[in-house]
A and B are shown apart, each in its own frame.
Chain A
Amino acid sequence: MSSKEKESMQLLQGTLDLIVLRTLATMGPQHAYQIATRLQQISDRLLNLNQGTLYPALMRLEQYGWIKGTWGRTESNREAKYYEITKAGQKALKEETQDWRRMSALVERFLLEEP
C-alpha cells in the first residue's frame, strides 16, 4: 500500500461519516446500496467509491450511537438493512456540519491568499 493512497483514505474518512449522516438526515432511512447510489448521484460519479468501503463507516457511526440499523424490505420485496439517523446523530450532524464549514472556510481562506 503506497503512502499516497493512505493519505486519500484518511481525508475521505472524516468526510464520509458526515456525508452519510447528511444523506440519512435528508432522505430518511436508507440501506447501504441506496446510500452508495445517492453518493454517486450527488458527486456526479466523481467520487468513484467501492460500495464495500461504506460498511466500516456505517458500523463506526452505529457504534457512536448516531445511526441505527434495522432489517426491512425493499419495494421489490428483497431484504435489506435500513439505517436511520438517531437523535444523537441529528445533534452530531449539526456539530460536524459546523466544524466542517469552519474548516473548509479556513482552508478556502488560505487558498485565496495564493497570488
Chain B
Amino acid sequence: MKRLRRIFVKFYLLFANSKVEAELAREIGAHLALLEEEYLRQGMTSEDARRAARLAYGGVEQAKQLHRDERTFQGLGQIPQDIRYTLRQLRRSPGFTVTAILMLALGIGATTAIFSIVEGVLLRPLPFPDPDRLVILGDEGSHCASCTQSNVTAPDIRNYMRDTQSFSHLGGYRQRLFELSGAGDPAAVNATRMSGEVFAALAVPPVLGRTFTQQEDEEGQQVAVLSYDMWRSRFHGDANVLGSKILLYRKPYTVIGVMPRDFEFPLNPGNVRQSELWLPLSLQPEEFTAGSAASWNSRMVGRLKPGITVEQAQSDAERVAQATMRDYPAYMRSLRIHAVVTPLHEDTVGQARPLVRTLLFAVIVVLLIACANLAGLLLVRAIRRRREIAVRLALGVRAATLLRQAIVESMVLSITGGVIGLALAAGALRVGISLLPQTLPRVDEIGLDWPVMLFALGLALLTGFLCGLAPAFAAIGTSVNETLKEGGRTGTSGSGHARLRSALVVAEIAVALTLLTASGLLLRSFEKMRDVKLGFRPDNTLAALYVLPQQRYATQSAIDEFTRTLLNDVGQLPGVDAVGITSFLPAAGNSWNIAFTIEGYVSPQGAGLNMAAMSLVESDPFEALGIRVLRGRVFTESDNAGSQLVAIVNRKMAERYWPGQDPIGKRLRRGMPETSTPWMTVVGEIDDVKLESRDAETMPQVYQPVTQTVTSEGVFAKPGELSAADGWIILRSRMAPEEMQDTLRATVRKIDPQLPLYQMQTMEHAISTSEAPRRFNTVLISSFAIAAVLLSVLGIYGVIAFSVALREQEMAVRMALGGQRSEVILLILSSGAKLAAVGCGLGLLGAVATSRLLRSFLFEVSPFDPSVLSLSAIAMLLLALAASALPARRASSADPMLALRGE
C-alpha cells in the first residue's frame, strides 16, 4: 500500500519539480539559519557561526541530490534537463557540433537512400493480392543454355494450361511493341498479349470497365485494357473511353477497361518498357507450327491452388513437359526441356539482389566510419571535460546520471543528423531514381515511405546510443581524486581512452580500405570494358527502328517496295555516306540466337546445340556501322531470293567451327541436323561485333540477306511468311548524327505518313545505355569509397592531433633537452603510420573476405588483383601519413620555452 502511494507521488512530482525544489531550498535555508543562530548563541562570531553551520549540515548540494534521488523517478524527470544541458554544451562548441551533425547526416542520409531502394525493390511485397502464391512457369533446357529467365513456346502455353492441375489460374503472356493510331499521333506502345487467365491469376480489379476473359481470348476478340497512365495521357482520363476504338497496327480494338495506377505487369527491370496496353493473347494457328513452335518467346504466370507447394507444382508441370517433348515434330527431336516453377517475386528481383546488396554493404561501411568518428570526437570531449566530470562526481552525481547525459548528448546529435539525413535522402532520391540502371526492377516503388522513415529514425537512435556508450564509460571511469589532484596539469593521461580511440581509427581505416579496393576493382573493370573492341565505329551513326503494319503491307512486294524506296531516299540525303538495314542493332542487347548445323562439324559429346546470333541485313549496314570485313565480300544486290543462299560469319564463328581454315566457301544451315533446311554458303568473314554490352560475351554471329530468309528457313517457314517487315535503319553521315534525326523522320513520313520511327538514337547513345549499369555501380561504389576514405582520414587526423595536443609538454621537454625537430616529426608520423599499417592489414583481409560479394560485378579483373590491392593500400597509407603530418608539424614548431612556462 505504502509503495503504491509512493509510486503515484513520485510520478506526480515529475511534473511539480520546480515547486518541490523551491520548497527544499527554503527548508534547507531555514535549517542553516537555525544552526547559525545556535552557534551565535554559543558565542561564535557570525563568520565562524556560518562556517560551523555549513560543516554541521554537510554538503548542501549532496543533500539536495539525495533528496532528488529519493523523491522521484530519477532518469525520466531529468531528461528534459539533460537535453537543455546538452544544447548548452553544444552551443559552446559549434565546430564540433556542425562536424558531428553533418557527418551523421551524410551517413544516415546515404544509408536511408540506399535502404529505400532495398525496401522498394527487394523487400516490399509485389502489388498483387496474396503475392506469395504467384509463380512463373517456364522451360529450361538445351534450347537456351545461357537464358537468364525461363520462357515457353506457344504449344507450351496450350499444353501447360490444359494439362496441369496445380494452378487455380495459369496463363501465358508476351510483350511486344505495337503501332498505335486512331487516338492522337501514331506512336509505338509497349503492349502485352496475355491469356485471359493472367488477369484472373493477378486478381487486381480494373478501376474502370472490366478485363477480358479466357473465353474472349480464345475467341480472338479484339479488345484492349489500358494502363492508367495511357488513359490519362492519351484519353485525358475520360470515363467515356470504354467502347471506343483504337488502331493497333491499323487493326481496330475496343477499349473495355482501365487498370489502376499502380498496376504493373510484367514487372520488367527499369521503367521504360512498362506495358501500356493489355490485349488477348489469342494464339493463331500458325503459331503452333514450324519455326514458331520452336520459339521460346513467351512466359507464363500462375496462381498456385491452396495447399500446393512450388515443388508439387513443378513436378506436375514436369509431367506435362515430358508429354510435350514426346509430341515434338521430327525437326525438334534433339531438344530437351524441363519445367521450372519460380515464385514471381524471386523471378522479378533475383537478378537485382547482388547489386542492391553490394550497395547496402558499401553504404553501411560509410555509416560505420561516420559512427566511429563521432564516437571518437565524443571521446575527446569526454577526456577534455574530465575535470568538470570529476567535480560533478565529487558533488554527488551518480554514475547512471553521467551515462544518461552522455547518451542524451550523442542522441541529440544523431537525431538532428538523422532528420537532416532524411532530407538529404529525399533530395538524393528525387535526382537519383532517374540515374538508376535499367536493370533494376520496380523502380517506381522506390521512395521515402513509412518503413524507410522508421528505418532512418531507428538508425539515428541506434547510432546515437552506440556512439554515446564510449564517452559515457570514459566519463564514469574518471577517478575523482586523481583528476582533481592533477590540478592544472594536462599530463599524458587516459591511456585507456587513447587505446579505444586507436582501435576505432584502425577499424575505420580497415573498412575504408575494403571499400577503396572494391572501388578500385570496379574502376579497373570499367577501364577493361572500355578497352574491349566494339567491332564497329559508333561515331556519326544514327539508328531507328521501324515496324511495317501487316494491314497495309500485306504482300512481300509492298514491303520490298517500301524498303527499296527508304534505302534509296535516305542514301540520297545530303551528307549521308552509307545506309543499311539490320534486324538487330549492335549494343542494344536485343540479339536473337538460333541453332545452326555446320557441314562436317561434329559437336563434342553433350555440347548442346550450336547457337549463334542471327541478323538479317539489307543493303550495306556493315559500311554504315563501320564493321571491318576480314575475308571475302559483303552482300550485293545479286544476293536475292532467287540466287544461291549466302551468309557472312564473324571471326568467333569462324574460329570455333573452322579453326585454322578459311571459312569462305564453307556451308551451314539453320536448325538441328534432323531439320530439313537448305545449305547457305559463307561468302565473308567480319570482325566480332558487340551486339550486347561491351562486358557481355561475344556470341558467334551469322548474317544473312533478309531477302533469302524464307527460303533458308525450309520447314520452319510459315505458309505465306513475309520477311523484312521490320528493321533498324542505320546511316553514317558526315554531319553530327543528331542533326540527321529530323531529316530521317521527314524522309520516312514522305513514304508513309502514318509510320512512326521508334527508339531513334545515335550509336554512341546506344553504347552509353549499354554501359549504364556498370557505370552506375562504379560511380556509386567509388563515391562511397571516397566518402569512407575522407572520413577515416579525418578520424586519424583527429586521433593524432589530440594526442599531440596532450603531449605538447612532453614534446617541449624533449626539445628543451636537445631533441631535434625531425625526431619529433618522426615520432608523431610513426604513431600515425602504425595505426594506418594495422588498419591496412585488416582492410586487405576485409577485401579478401568481401571478394565473393564483388566477383559478379568484375570484368576481366580478379578480386585479388595485386596491383589494385597494393595501390589502394599505398594510397590509404599515404593519406594517413598526410593526415598525421599536419599535427606533427604543429608539435615540432612548439616553442620549448613557452610550453615549459605554460604550467
Q: Give A residues with C-beta under 8 Å from B.
A: 31-33, 50-53, 55-56, 59-60, 63-66, 74, 76, 78-81, 92
Contact = CB atoms under 8 A, between A and B. Distances in A.
A56 B30 contact: no
Interface in B22-44: 24, 26-28, 30-31, 33-35, 37-38
Interface of B: 2, 5-6, 9-10, 24, 26-28, 30-31, 33-35, 37-38, 56-60, 62-63, 66-67, 69-71
Contacts, number: 73
Q: Which 7 A-B pairs give the minimum distances between C-beta atoms?
A: A50-B58, A52-B63, A56-B70, A52-B58, A33-B34, A64-B2, A63-B9
A64 B6 CA distance: 6
A9 B502 CA distance: 41
Contact of A33 (B5, B26, B31, B66): B31
Contacts of A78: 30, 33-34, 37
A51 B71 contact: no
B5 to A, nearest CB: 6
Contacts of B6: 60, 63-64
Given A33-B31, A33-B38, A64-B2, 11 more contacts: A50-B59, A55-B66, A55-B67, A56-B67, A56-B71, A60-B6, A64-B5, A65-B2, A78-B30, A79-B30, A92-B2
A66 B9 CA distance: 14
A65 B24 CA distance: 18
5 contacts: A31-B31, A50-B63, A51-B35, A56-B71, A74-B34
A50 B26 CA distance: 18
B8 to A, nearest CB: 9
Contacts of B62: 52
A105 to B, nearest CB: 24
Contacts of A66: 2
Contacts of B60: 52
Contact of B10 (A63, A74, A76, A81): A63
B34 A56 contact: no
A92 B69 CA distance: 24
Q: Interface centre among A31, A59, A64, A74, by most B CB within 10 Å?
A: A59
A55 B63 contact: yes
Contacts of B69: 56
A79 B33 CA distance: 9
A4 to B, nearest CB: 17
B671 to A, nearest CB: 91
A79 B28 CA distance: 11
Contacts of A79: 26, 30
A42 to B, nearest CB: 17
Given A63-B6, A64-B2, A52 B28 contact: yes
Given A32-B27, A59-B70, A63-B10, A76 B58 contact: no
B59 A52 contact: yes
A81 B27 CA distance: 6
Contacts of B26: 79, 81
B56 A63 contact: no
Given A50-B59, A52-B57, A59-B70, A31 B35 contact: no
A65 B9 CA distance: 10
Given A50-B63, A55-B63, A56-B69, A81 B30 contact: yes
Nearest to A60: B70
Contacts of A60: 6, 70
Contacts of A32: 27, 31
B647 to A, nearest CB: 94
A41 to B, nearest CB: 13
Contacts of B9: 63
Nearest to B69: A56
